[in-house]
Amino acid sequence: MCQVDEEYNGLECNQKIPLPTLNRKCMKCKEETASLIIRVSDAFCRSCFKEYFIHKFRAMLGKNRVIFPQEKVLVAVSGGAASCAMLSQVQEGLSQDTPKKLRFVPGIIYIDEGGACGQSSEERQRSVAQLKSIFTETGFPYFIVPLELVFSLPTSVLVPLSSDPDRSNPIYKLAVDQYIKQNLVEETTAGAMSQLSIQDSLYSPEHKLALERLFASLKTLTAKEDMLQTLRQHLILHTARVNGYSKVMMGESCSRLAVKLLSKITLGRGAALASDTGFSDPRYGDVVITRPMRDYSSKEIALYSRMFNVPSVFISGLDTKTHDKASIQRLTESFVTNLQADFPSTVSTIYRTSEKLHTVIPAQSQTSESTSKCLLCLCAIDTEVDKASAFHATLVSEQLSQIRPQEMSHAAPAMSADQCCGEGQGCETGGCCSSKHRSLNHQDLKALLCYSCRLTLKDMETIDTLPPYITTEAEKRQKRSHMKLEISEFLLEDGDDGD
C-alpha cells in the first residue's frame, strides 16, 4: 500500500511508525503546543486545527466551483459525525463575521429510516426530537422525511431532467460578480430563513406496512442496504425538486468513500464509480449531488467534533450490531478498517484512485430519453455488451436454467378467444396482447436495470412489494419499448435523409 510521494514521508511497510511524543510544537504556527496529531508528522494546536479544518471545506467548494451564489443547496444530514460536521461548516461559513463567507442559501433534510431498520416508534420520535433541536439552532429551513413516503412518490422521480441551458449565470466568475454588485442585505435573508421551519411529514399505517413487506421480501442484507440507499436518494431528489433546490450536499468522508468504492466494485457498479464517489454527481440533471467532505478522514472529523463540541445523534441502521460477514458492504468496511490500522496509507491510496475515475457515457445514453437510464439508480445501463462477453454468457446460462424440459418439448398453448384483446392485427402471435395487457414480471423489470440493480432484484422474492412509482414507470417504459418495436419499420434512422 506504499507509494511514491506519500504524505507519510515514504515510510516503508516494514518500518515501525514512530510513536507521538509529548510537548510537540504545532507544525503550522511553530509556537503553541500541539493538542492533536492527525498523521505521523501533522501535529496541530487547537486554533490551527480549526483553521485547517475550515479552510479544507471552503477550498473544496472553491476548487470545484459547482455551487453558485444565491443558489439553494440542500444539506443532507443523517445524524452522524460527518454530516453534522458538514452542517457545522455551512453554519460557520454563513455567519456574519466570517471572512470569505459562503453565498448560497442552505436547507436541511433528514430521511427517517427507522421503518426499514426495525426501530420502534419511541426510538424514532426520540431521534427526530434530538435532530430537531440541532436543526432549529441553525436557523435553516429543514425537512424531516420518513422513508415510508416513497410509496407516495410520483413517477417523475425516475425521469432524469436536463439542467436549464439558459441560466442567467452560466459562468462562476460572472455569477460572483453579479452577486457582489447586487449588494444583498444578509440580515434580511438570515431573518427570513430562521422563520422557515418545515415540520416533518406524516405517513399512513398502510405505507408503514408496505415498507416492512418490501424489506422483508429482500433475502440478503446486501440487497437491503442497496435498496435503502436507492430509496433514500429518490426521497432527497424529490424533496429538492419540489422545493427548488438545485444542489445537494452529502456528508461522505474520505474513509467512507474508500469503503464505498470497493463495495461498489464488488456489487458490479464499476461503470458508475465516478458518479458514486466523485465530488459531483450530475446523473439527475437538474439536481447535482456534491460531496464537500470527501477530503476529510474519519479521524479528523471525530477529533473536530470532540474538540469543538459539534452535536451529533447516533441512530442505529441496518448493519448495527451485525458481524463482519453479514453483507458485502459490512465485510468491505471491516477489511478497509483493519488494513488501515496496520497500514495508514490504505484509505488515502484508495481515495486517490477514486479521484482519477471518469464516467464514459455510451452512445445510446447520450440522448435525453429516460429508457437509456437504469430504472432505480438512473445511471447509464451497462448491460449492452457483445455476444462474446462473459456477461452475455451468464445471461444465456440463466435463461437455459430457467427453461424446464417439458417446456422445451411442448409448444406453448394457444391463446383462447376470451383471453385475446381482440384489437386486430398481431393477436395470433401474442404480440399485441403481450405488449398491452401482460403484467410486469422479473424479466421485464431486469431489462430496465443496470447490472448491479439486477443483482438486488435477484434477491427479491416478489416485485409486487416495490413502491408504485417504480412499477408504474417500468410498465410505461415497457409499453414504450414494445410500441417502438412495432413501428420500427416506419422510423427513420439518424443517417437517413428522408427520401
Which residue is associated with the grid cell 479521524? 299
The model's confidence at residue 175, banded by pLDDT at 50, 70 and 90, is low
Q: Give the pLDDT band of residue 50 (cuts 50, 70, 90).
A: very high
- Amino acid at residue number 91: Q
Summarised one tens digit per residue, pLDDT across range 206-240 is: 999 999 999 999 999 999 999 999 999 999 999 99
Tell me the residue type at 85: A
Say what the pLDDT of residue 6 is: 47
Q: What is the dihedral of CA 53, 57, 63, 65, to 10 degrees?
A: -160
CA dist 351 to 77, 82, 150, 252, 278, Å?
A: 22, 17, 32, 12, 10
Predicted pLDDT of residue 369: 55
Residue 12 scores a pLDDT above 50: no
Instruction: Say how far apart CA 117 and CA 214 lie, in whole Å.
Output: 12
Which 3 state secondary structure label does DSSP give 326? Answer: coil
- Among 156-170, 304-318, 380-394, 430-444, the range scoring the smallest mean pLDDT is 430-444
Spatial distance between the Cα atoms of 33 and 21, rounded to a whole number of angstroms: 11
Res 65 pLDDT > 50: yes
Residue 200 has a pLDDT of 56
Question: Which sequence spans correspond to the domains of the chain?
Answer: 65-359, 372-403+419-490
Computed from CA positions of residues 423, 424, 430, 434, in that sequence, does the dihedral angle turn out positive or negative? Answer: negative
User: What band does 468 get if pLDDT is binned at 50, 70 and 90?
Assistant: very high
Is there a contact between 358 and 282 (Cβ–Cβ < 8 Å)? no
In tens, the pLDDT along 369-419 reads 556 788 999 988 877 766 666 676 777 777 777 665 555 455 444 444 444
pTM (predicted TM-score) = 0.81
What's the pLDDT score for residue 169? 44
C-alpha cell at 129: 426530537
List b or e across 119-154, with b for residues whose CB sees 16 or more CB atoms inside 10 angstroms: beeeebeebbebbbebbeebbbbbbbbbbbbbbebe
The answer to whether residues 264 and 229 touch, using CB atoms and an 8 Å cutoff, is no
* Percent of the chain scoring above 90 in pLDDT: 41
The CATH superfamily of 65-359 is HUPs (3.40.50.620)
The reported pLDDT for the residue numbered 480 is: 85
The region of weakest confidence among 44-58, 155-169, 347-361, 371-385 is 155-169
Give yes or no for residue 244 having a pLDDT over 70.
yes
pLDDT level of residue 479 (50, 70, 90 thresholds): confident
**Is the pLDDT assigned to residue 363 strictly greater than 50?**
no
Q: What is the pLDDT of residues 303-353, one digit of tens each?
A: 999 999 999 999 998 988 899 999 999 999 999 999 988 888 899 889 888
Radius of gyration of the chain (CA): 26
Confidence of residue 21 (pLDDT cuts 50, 70, 90): low
Q: How confident is the model at residue 192 (pLDDT cuts 50, 70, 90)?
A: very low
| Cβ atoms 340, 346 nearer than 8 A | yes
pLDDT of residue 423: 46
Of 431, 410, 405, 412, which is closest to residue 420 (Cα–Cα)?
A: 431
Q: How confident is the model at residue 160 (pLDDT cuts 50, 70, 90)?
A: confident
**Spatial contact of 250 and 160, defined as CB atoms under 8 Å apart:** no
Q: How confident is the model at residue 438 (pLDDT cuts 50, 70, 90)?
A: low
pLDDT value for 145? 93
